[in-house]
Amino acid sequence: MTTKQVSELTGIPEGSLKYFRHRGHGGPRSFALTPRAIRYSRESVLEWISERMQADEQISA
């Protein structure tokens, strides 16, 4: 998935996803096909969403 596709799926702005990558944590795991072609696997994005939901449930409990 491209950064734009992940942004559309999650509602997180592309700039925030880029910031997470720059920091090295905070967003779904990404990989570089080339230095300018950053991609995300659908499975890693869905796993990240699930982890965030679980963390939120623990905080709310």
pLDDT tens per residue across span 12-53:
999 999 999 999 888 999 999 999 999 999 999 999 999 999
The whole model's pTM is what? Answer: 0.85
Higher pLDDT, 58 or 13: 13
- Tell me the β-bridge partners of 38: 32
Q: One-letter amino acid identity for 31?
A: F
Report CA 40 to chain centroid distance, whole Å.
Answer: 8
Q: If DSSP codes are grouped into helix, strand and coil, which group holds residue 34?
A: strand
Q: Output the pLDDT for position 59.
A: 83
Q: Output the pLDDT for position 43.
A: 97
Q: Output the pLDDT for position 56.
A: 82
Q: Output the pLDDT for position 57.
A: 82
Q: If DSSP codes are grouped into helix, strand and coil, which group holds residue 31?
A: strand
